[in-house]
Amino acid sequence: MAKKFQREVLIALADTHGGHRLGLLNPETVFIEYEPDEEGKLIEYEEPAYLNPAQEWLWKHYTHDIEEAFKLAGRDPVTVIVDGDITNGNKYAVADRSYVHLGNQVIIAADNLDPILRHKKQLKALRLVWGTDSHEGGDRSATTIVHRIIKAENKGLDLKSYGHGLMNLGGVWIDFAHHGSSPGIRHHTEGNAMRWEIGSELDGSAADGDPLVHLYIRAHFHRRSQVSLTRFYNDVPHTAHGIILPPYQLLTHFARQVVKSPRRSRVGLAAVEIINKEIYKINWFVRSRENRVREIL
């Protein structure tokens, strides 16, 4: 008898930083503003979002990546994880943001999910992960509000938000959170820290009787990375993969300082194919662009 073919696709993306001038912004976003006229009568008016060239570039590639990932899935069910920092927050310099008002940032973050929600009939589940407090208005405020907006507009959608998840998807255990190991500060050492983290986590899970994870997903560092590790437990091999997601935000002045002036920035997402209870392939939809100003004098 032929083996039954079961396939699911997981789309994972992170760090869209809605509200930042170098973050993701849906061109269809409209803000509602209120101002009194000269007689004191309250006037309501619409203010369309304005995209600068960086945001136009980001939106073009973001929508392309989402469509390509769903195309990869075909007719198979799709689960989406948005792994934190859906807004930029209001902690850092005003000059580094397009929209200071956290309310407008939340509207941007919710509208940025529209390309995903257009595939609602195929969407098995949507998970929003809490990010960094300084980017989400403190104590996961932005994610909580976006959750409520999406839930109200999409009845019946399997939507949840939390800080750290352990999901069994198609027989594969997936551990996901926004914060985790750094991808490394040297090209030749990239992934070492995550490899050590995976090994430690697997050993701890085995000792505690917890499920052995097949895929670890992290974000936060605005870098793409992928590693694999095999451990033997009772002489049975277990392979786990780890990925760090790139952002959908270009390099900010603050980030340039933190990550030590990287040569290039990468943006994109991962689409993981799960077939018959195994990770078949991790597909990347990613591109890079120069961070330096090139000159020939």
Does residue 201 have a pLDDT over 90? yes
Q: What does each C-alpha distance from 51 to 35, 104, 159, 230 come to in angstroms? A: 24, 14, 29, 45
pLDDT value, residue 242: 97
Reported as type and span, the H/E element at residue 192 is: helix 192-208
Contacts of 161 (CB under 8 A, 6+ apart): 127, 128, 129, 130, 140, 143, 144, 147
Indicate the domain borders of the chain.
Answer: 7-290
pLDDT value, residue 244: 96
For the whole model, what pTM was predicted? 0.94
pLDDT value, residue 84: 93
Rounded to an integer, what distance in angstroms lies between the CA atom of residue 46 and that of residue 34?
9
pLDDT value, residue 258: 76
pLDDT value, residue 259: 78
Could you read off the pLDDT of 23-41 as tens digits, one per residue? 999 999 999 888 888 888 9
CATH number of 7-290: 3.60.21.10
pLDDT value, residue 32: 87
Does residue 95 have a pLDDT over 60? no
pLDDT value, residue 100: 74
SS3 state of residue 136: coil
Rounded to an integer, what distance in angstroms lies between the CA atom of residue 129 and that of residue 160?
9
Q: Are 11 and 68 in contact (CB under 8 A)?
A: no
Could you read off the pLDDT of 114-152 as tens digits, one per residue? 999 999 999 999 999 999 988 888 888 999 999 999 999
Question: Which band of pLDDT confidence, cut at 50, 70 and 90, is reported for residue 261?
Answer: confident
Q: Among 14, 6, 13, which Cα is nearest to 283's?
A: 13
Max CA-CA distance within the chain? 81
Average pLDDT over residues 74-83: 97
Provide Rg for the chain, Cα atoms.
20
Which residue has 């083996």 as its token pair? Answer: 3
Does residue 110 have a pLDDT over 90? yes
Annotate 55-88 with b (16+ C-beta within 10 A) or e (fewer): beebbebbeebbeebbebbeebebbbbbbbbbbb
Could you read off the pLDDT of 45-61 as tens digits, one per residue? 889 999 999 999 999 99
Does residue 96 have a pLDDT over 90? no
- For residue 224, which phi and psi values (nearest 5 degrees)? -95, 140
pLDDT value, residue 83: 98
